[in-house]
Amino acid sequence: MKRIILYLNMAFVLSGCSDVLDTVPTDRLSSEVYWQTDKDAEYAANAVYRFLESPTTVLGRDAMSDHARSTFETSDETKVEGSIADPQTNIFQNTWNDMYKGIRGCNDYLANVEKITPTDAAKVNRITSEVRTLRCYFYARLVSYFGDVPLVTTPIGISESKTLTRTPVAEIYDFIHTEITDAATYLPVTTTEKGRVTKGAALGILARTMLFAAGNVTGTDDRSATFYQRAKDAADAVIALGVYDLLPNYKDLFTYANENSKEVVFDKQFIKDVYANSVMNSFGAVSLGNNGSNMSPTSVLVDEYETTNGKKISEDSSYDPMNPYANRDPRLGYTLYYPGSVLPNGAIYDSRPGWSSTSDVIGASYQVSKTGLLPRKYINAEDIGQSNRSNCGINLVILRYAEILLIAAESRIELNTELDVAMGYINKIRQRADVNMPPLTGVSVQSALRDAVRHERTVELALEGSRFFDVRRWKIAESACNMDKVDGMRYVDKVSGALITVSTDYKKKFSSRDYLWPIPYNERQLNANLTQNEGWD
């Protein structure tokens, strides 16, 4: 199967500049020489795809939510979730840089592509629409982190970069809506070259962006009804394409065998030995030969999974706290490794002190999970071993059909319309073949359905990077992400027989300022026109 070649390092896309809003690099290919053929456009577009985030970045965002904590206490994530980061913390600058590098690559492409006299105009229009969509994706990520940011749509020089001001999010969201709506008309429904932006991917990115916009995280663009309607329309358009569906088995979603499945709407492609990632080394168990998972999941996430009766564990008398992982929503076992889980090498994962002498036991080293729980998604047998743990070829699923259905459901619920349709979408996800949770019935009140769709997002998309953004747009982060301690797995003590809950004195703090990240220190040193977000001065 043909894949887009993401690793092509076109010289015109700079990968190491201190000021990403700076001038176009002098070591790029000359536009007079390069921009000649259709292939030039294709290769230039390919280079932009490489700026999509890595699995470590995307998945690791949930360490800064209530669903996990950072395993390594010297990490930037620890500073963010403890609310002790400042504008000089590297994660802010790195995120800003990465997204603007992608935007600059898009702007360079769009400024030069018209120099080509195409032999296949439709192909060039398609590729150009991919780049326009990618630019919107990068901007959507930027505004979700920082709020107002400079909207730059052409290549700029040093002098121009020092005069930029922050563009209100309202203008950026309208730009994204207009750009993607237009670009989608030139994009195909399917493509033989996997990894490229399709019509469904573009509309899915739009739907997700508009859903986040409806949360009005900045407090400056209160058009929630407009944004929910846009999210609904875009999600409905993806569904209407008729080319996506849920994979029958949830447990197969993040495996090599099911890359590019019918559930994948948009992903970032990787190939071992050619363009690899380090997802195994970043999140896999120490006993598999890894450096330890960057994040340790919490009991908050575990407790969200219902019993197989479709009830909360606090409301089901059949729930056995001495055997806490039994008879639960199957997605719990497909999302987390807990004591008794089978690792990809066939060994039993056991992090319980006193029960095991494996290298995964809590306290065995600074690298092991601090909660006794580990992420399971993307951890595959093919990536076990010293030579493979940082040479993973598994694709990163950026957007899948289950999320589209959940967007279609949530937008309807918030608009208080077609609630029966919303419930149908939720039930479709709950009744995936190997999940088979009881369907919702008789739920017709908006508030109850809101709780239902938020629960479903929580357990369906867990540890995929969504929770970081959901707690912000739902405005629940100040209650969800303030913890005086972080609890993890529950197990029976081998000697006393008592039920033990792993608990750490690790503190999570979240204040109103943390809904937006600060404009990085270096950017404000370079350009005094960039104002700072409230609370970060």
Q: Along the 537 residues of the chain, how does pLDDT read in single tens digits? A: 566 654 444 433 433 334 444 444 444 555 567 899 999 999 999 999 999 999 999 999 999 999 999 999 999 999 999 999 999 999 999 999 999 999 999 999 999 999 999 999 999 999 999 999 999 999 999 999 999 999 999 999 888 999 999 999 999 999 999 999 999 999 999 999 999 999 999 999 999 999 999 999 999 999 999 999 999 999 999 999 999 999 999 999 999 999 999 999 999 999 999 999 999 999 999 999 999 999 999 999 999 999 999 999 999 999 999 999 999 999 999 999 999 999 999 999 999 999 999 999 999 999 999 999 999 999 999 999 989 999 999 999 999 999 999 999 999 999 999 999 999 999 999 999 999 999 999 888 999 999 999 999 999 999 999 999 999 999 999 999 999 999 999 999 999 999 999 998 999 999 999 999 999 999 999 999 999 999 998
Helix (H, G, I), strand (E, B) or coil at 399: strand
DSSP conformation class of 178: H
- Nearest alpha carbon to residue 146 among 185, 96, 196, 190: 96
- Nearest alpha carbon to residue 245 among 398, 397, 404: 404
SS3 letters for 335-392? HEECCCCECCCCCECCCCCCCCCCCCCCCCCCCCCCCCCEECCCCCHHHCCCCCCCCE
Cα 450 from Cα 479, distance rounded (Å): 18
Give residue for tokens 């709407």: 265
Cα 471 from Cα 468, distance rounded (Å): 6
Contact 90, 76 (CB under 8 A): yes
Given its phi and psi angles, is residue 465 left (phi above 0), alpha (psi -120 to 50 degrees) or beta?
left
Give 109-173 as a DSSP string. Answer: HHHHGGG---SSHHHHHHHHHHHHHHHHHHHHHHHHHHSSB----S---HHHHTT--PBPHHHHH
Cα 295 from Cα 290, distance rounded (Å): 13
Contact 163, 529 (CB under 8 A): yes
Give residue for tokens 């400056």: 220
Cα 145 from Cα 96, distance rounded (Å): 9
Cα 490 from Cα 357, distance rounded (Å): 18
How many Cβ atoms are within 10 Å of 252's Cβ, its own excluded? 14
Contact 220, 531 (CB under 8 A): no
How many Cβ atoms are within 10 Å of 43's Cβ, its own excluded? 15
Give residue for tokens 């998945």: 59
Cα 406 from Cα 449, distance rounded (Å): 12
Contact 260, 394 (CB under 8 A): no
Instruction: Report the residue count for the chain.
Output: 537
CA angle 409, 414, 415 (to 5 degrees): 95
pLDDT in tens, 340-377: 999 999 999 999 999 999 999 999 999 999 999 999 99
The beta strands (E) that lie in 63-112 are given as 68-70
Cα 400 from Cα 388, distance rounded (Å): 26
Identify the helix (H) or strand (E) that includes residue 174.
helix 169-183
Helix (H, G, I), strand (E, B) or coil at 483: strand
Contact 38, 118 (CB under 8 A): yes
Please, what are the domains in the chain?
31-270+515-526 (1.25.40.390), 271-298+339-394 (no CATH)
pTM of the model: 0.94
Give residue for tokens 């997802």: 279
The beta strands (E) that lie in 405-526 are given as 486-492, 499-504
The letter for the amino acid at 48 is: V
In this structure, the strands spanning 499-504 and 295-297 are: unpaired
Return the biggest CA–CA distance within the chain.
78
- Nearest alpha carbon to residue 382 among 282, 286, 279, 268: 279
